[in-house]
Amino acid sequence: MSQDIVILAAGKGSRMKSSFSKVLHKVGGVAMVRRVLATAASMTNAKLHLVVGHQGEQVTNHCQDFAANVVWQNNPQGTGDALRRVASSLQSEGSTLTLYGDVPLIRPTTLEKMAALSTPNTLVLLTISLDNPTGYGRIVRNADGNVCAIVEQKDASAEELAINEVNTGILLAPNQPLQTWLAALTNDNAQGEFYLTDIIAMAAKDGVDIVTVQPENEAEVAGVNDRVQLAALEREWQQQQAIQLMQNGATLLDPARIDVRGELITGEDVIIDVNCVFEGKVELGDGVEVGPNCHLKDCVVGKGTVIKSHSMIDESQVGEACDIGPFARLRPGTRLANKAKIGNFVETKKANIGEGSKVNHLSYIGDTEMGANVNVGAGTITCNYDGVNKHLTQVADNVFIGSNSALVAPVQVAEGATIAAGSTITKAVGEKQLAFARSRQANKDNWPRPVKN
């Protein structure tokens, strides 16, 4: 059956105290509304509608790749008002699922349960039973146990306030009767708003079957109104990711201290120490070890590689059995072949480092093609920028580069060559040549040291 999915994202979110839309705040590195849209887009035969209002340009620009039908709700008057504005865009047949841009952790499996119960004469409600239902609309059932209405807290009687089954706001309604119900909505209530929940009583009156589904946990239907609630959902999301990683064979030395802000794929026997952050898409092969306080973004790391503490890897590819860090930074375009070593306080950028090559410490290697079994001494830099353009440094296999050397690109160092420590290399070095380029030492007797004024 065809399905319209309406995502409500028009609220101001004033309690966030933010210069941008509430639904653009992130959980797990992804804007809340994008999480909801992605879940909606995974449903079968889904036609997406996005209702925007306050800061709507921000929201539509951020979500334009979903190709949703954008509907504006200026001067919003409740959830029923939002659906009324979408009504003319809904399909004549099928059903409409209502979701919320600030309820980001709803699961596809829950929505699929709802869809499985949908018929042209069935309205499906997502409800949840809470120990403390304060603030939620209550699910009112008749003597037979059938849902007959939803009463908002401000309009509820003392008896209704005692009900602990509450409305999540997520419902799936058949389109044909929905159009009639939306047209009949009024704002005769304490808030002066058009409540979407009022259609429940209309459906009961019309003899439509009203069935309920409950989510696996409360976090699925938790909304965000302020930064405290946002932080709580962030922790919930990270806990879910930690559990999944451990179930897939990774060891987390402290599951409460990991942040996955994208997709993290791990092989067997991966070990991740505390306070590591993973952004974008990161793949870790079997046996990879990640030390504490590391930051990995959009990278692939081959099996058996060890990444020591406080290292950052960004848009790079790392081979097998490599040794990285501590305090190393691999910038975009870095490619390490198997068994390469990048040591402490080394930075690389757009560099191909060959198999078994070592850049052990205190060096910068950028715009470089480096062969196998190269040894780079401490303090070596490739001078790749002339102030306007970047240039390439080419280092062949088995080269030895002494400490504190500068290779001024464009320059080539052939196989087996040696660069003497402290050299500034501006010309090509041939095979097995020794290159040394430094001033002759001069010692002056009785030289007066500077004194403090």
Asked if 422 and 405 touch (Cβ cutoff 8 Å), the reply is yes
Report CA-CA distances (Å) from 119 to 76, 94, 141, 258. Answer: 30, 8, 21, 43
Query: Half-sphere exposure (CA, 13 Å, Cβ side) for 389?
Result: 4
H helices present in 169-311, as ranges = 175-184, 198-205, 227-247
How far is Cα of residue 216 from the mean position of the Cα atoms in its chain? Answer: 23
User: Annotated binding residue at 68?
Assistant: no
User: Annotated binding residue at 137?
Assistant: yes
User: Annotated binding residue at 172?
Assistant: no
In the residue annotation, 361 being an active-site residue is answered as yes
User: Annotated binding residue at 79?
Assistant: yes
Closest CA relative to residue 289, chosen from 269, 314, 318:
269
Residues in a beta bridge with 323: 306, 341
User: Annotated binding residue at 136?
Assistant: no
User: Annotated binding residue at 195?
Assistant: no
CB-based burial, 171-199: b 16+ in 10 Å, e otherwise: bbbbbebbbebbeebeeeeeeebbbbbbb
Q: Is 8 exposed, middle or buried (0-12, 13-18, 19+ CB in 10 A)?
A: buried
User: Annotated binding residue at 364?
Assistant: yes
User: Annotated binding residue at 384?
Assistant: yes
How far is Cα 120 from Cα 44, in angstroms, rounded to an integer?
17
User: Annotated binding residue at 154?
Assistant: no
User: Annotated binding residue at 421?
Assistant: yes
User: Annotated binding residue at 9?
Assistant: yes
Amino acid letter, 364: Y
Report CA-CA distances (Å) from 293 to 197, 258, 413. Answer: 47, 9, 36
Tokens encoding 419? 């660069």
How far is Cα 91 from Cα 61, in angstroms, rounded to an integer?
25
Residue partners of 449: CB distance under 8 A and separation at least 6: none
User: Annotated binding residue at 11?
Assistant: yes
User: Annotated binding residue at 404?
Assistant: no
Asked if 373 and 389 touch (Cβ cutoff 8 Å), the reply is no
User: Annotated binding residue at 142?
Assistant: no
User: Annotated binding residue at 74?
Assistant: no
Contacts 24+ apart (CB under 8 A), 272-276: 272/245, 273/309
Report CA-CA distances (Å) from 415 to 152, 298, 319, 404. Answer: 78, 33, 22, 20
| From 54, 310, 361, 391, the catalytic residue | 361
User: Annotated binding residue at 4?
Assistant: no
User: Annotated binding residue at 331?
Assistant: yes
Asked if 242 and 274 touch (Cβ cutoff 8 Å), the reply is no
User: Annotated binding residue at 8?
Assistant: yes
How far is Cα of residue 23 from the mean position of the Cα atoms in its chain? Answer: 14
User: Annotated binding residue at 280?
Assistant: no
- Going by the annotation, the residues of the binding site are 8-11, 22, 73, 78-79, 100-102, 137, 152, 167, 225, 331, 349, 364, 375, 378, 384-385, 403, 421, 438
- Going by the annotation, the residues of the binding site for Mg(2+) are 102, 225
Residues with catalytic annotation?
361
- Going by the annotation, the residues of the binding site for UDP-N-acetyl-alpha-D-glucosamine are 8-11, 22, 73, 78-79, 100-102, 137, 152, 167, 225, 331, 349, 364, 375
- Going by the annotation, the residues of the binding site for acetyl-CoA are 378, 384-385, 403, 421, 438
